[in-house]
């Protein structure tokens, strides 16, 4: 049985931990609103770009179509881009993204595909290190930035241009609410044209008009498609940051409550032990007095 001093030290240690978890919860709550606004504000731009690409792609076909739009025509070499945060203490937030990516990787390997992994974020790098299929690891940084997104985009395009990958899929966590973050996979190459459905980009109503583009659709897409990859990665990083702070706030709130319950239980145990020791000492004193 632990001594009273050991129990006092244990209670003090749990109280110190509770202060840390409470502080982290308050910091996450303060940053969540700003991150949530940033993620939601980025969605219209990404959706509008997807709609423009969909309209331009409708008029492109044949050998003149950009390779980023139609791909290589093969489906053997896959690159899985896994975007997480650099930090932990957010419950299962990072693990859920990695788990979804692992399921995709295992499915592809079972089909005999050649799979490579590019990680954006230290947690993805650490959890997928044992796969030994990495082609690069990029740190997400404290705040999402276009610089990091562009670095990942250039890496992806270089691998594609070198003929090392045929299909590129990005995995991240889509922010829905404070309590819900959904691991999501988006195909970057060939460019996924999403028309119809709740997750698709809204179409552009041309009201029956026929447009002639100058320069032509292929030239515009050649410029727009690389930028779209950067935009998709940057948007994923913004979604991840909002989801991370929401998950961290919830995890630290639970940790603070658990620490409070542990403090109450330890304090009760400490008081009972102290009372039992005092009672024992009184009995010894009284017994000694009666013996005299």
For 39-61, how does the pLDDT look when each residue is reduced to its tens digit (9 = 90+)?
989 888 888 888 888 878 877 76
* pLDDT tops 90 at residue 290: no
Q: How far apart are CA 147 and CA 144, in angstroms?
A: 9
User: What is the rounded CA–CA span in Å between residue 228 and residue 235?
Assistant: 10
CATH number of 39-248: 3.40.1380.10
CB 165 within 8 A of CB 189: yes
pTM for the full predicted model? 0.83
* C-alpha–C-alpha distance, residues 270 and 12, integer Å: 12
Query: Residue 232 burial by CB count (10 A; 0-12/13-18/19+): exposed, middle or buried?
Result: buried
Query: How many CA atoms are closer than 13 Å to the CA of 176, on its beta-carbon side?
Result: 8
* pLDDT tens by residue, 233-248: 999 999 999 999 999 9
For the chain, which residues make up each domain, given as ranges?
Answer: 4-21+251-291, 39-248
**CA dist., res. 72 & res. 68, Å (int):** 8
Residue 292 DSSP class: -
Examine the pLDDT at 28 and tell me if it is beyond 70: yes
Inter-CA distances, 194 with 55, 80, 212, Å: 11, 20, 23
Q: What is the CATH code of the structural domain delimited by 4-21+251-291?
A: 1.10.287.80
Query: Does residue 109 contact residue 115 with C-beta atoms inside 8 Å?
Result: yes
pLDDT of 205 strictly over 60 = no
Q: CB-based contacts of 265: which residues, under 8 Å, 6+ apart?
A: none
**To which H or E segment does residue 172 belong?**
strand 167-175
Whether the Cβ atoms of residue 194 and residue 105 lie closer than 8 Å to each other:
no
Q: Of 254, 255, 265, 79, whose CA–CA distance to 159 is shortest? A: 79
The whole-number pLDDT of residue 211 equals 64
What pLDDT score does 213 carry? 66
Q: 4-21+251-291 and 39-248 share one CATH topology?
A: no
Phi (first) and psi of residue 134, to 5 degrees: -75, 140
The predicted model gives 209-237 an average pLDDT of 83
> Average model confidence (pLDDT) for the chain?
86
Q: How confident is the model at residue 196 (pLDDT cuts 50, 70, 90)?
A: very low
In sequence order, which residues have a C-beta less than 8 Å from that of residue 95 and are 6 or more positions away?
A: 127
Confidence of residue 270 (pLDDT cuts 50, 70, 90): confident
């Amino acid at each position: 049985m632990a001594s009273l001093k050991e129990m006092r030290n244990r209670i003090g240690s749990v109280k110190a931990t509770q202060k840390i978890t409470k502080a982290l919860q308050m910091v996450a709550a303060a940053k969540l609103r700003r991150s949530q606004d940033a993620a939601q504000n980025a969605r219209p731009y990404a959706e509008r770009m997807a709609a423009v690409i969909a309209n331009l792609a409708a008029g492109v076909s044949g050998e003149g179509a950009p390779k980023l739009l139609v791909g290589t025509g093969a489906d053997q070499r896959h690159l899985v881009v896994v975007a997480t945060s650099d930090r932990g203490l957010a419950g299962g937030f990072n693990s859920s993204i990695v788990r979804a990516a692992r399921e995709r990787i295992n499915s592809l390997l079972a089909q005999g595909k050649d799979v490579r992994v590019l990680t954006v974020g230290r947690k993805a790098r650490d959890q997928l290190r044992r796969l030994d299929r990495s082609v690069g690891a990029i740190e997400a940084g404290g705040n999402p930035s276009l610089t990091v997104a562009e670095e990942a985009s250039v890496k992806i395009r270089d691998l594609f241009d070198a003929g090392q990958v045929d299909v590129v899929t990005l995995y991240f966590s889509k922010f829905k609410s404070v309590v819900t973050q959904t691991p999501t996979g988006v195909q970057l190459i060939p460019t996924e044209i999403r028309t119809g459905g709740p997750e698709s980009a809204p179409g552009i109503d041309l009201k029956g008009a026929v447009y002639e583009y100058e320069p032509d659709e292929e030239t515009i897409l050649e410029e727009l498609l690389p930028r779209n990859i950067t935009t998709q990665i940057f948007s994923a990083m913004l979604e991840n940051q909002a989801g991370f702070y929401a998950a961290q706030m919830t995890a630290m709130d639970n940790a603070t409550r658990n620490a409070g319950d542990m403090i109450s239980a330890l304090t009760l145990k400490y008081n009972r032990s102290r009372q039992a020791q005092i009672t024992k000492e009184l009995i010894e004193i009284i017994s000694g007095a009666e013996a005299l």
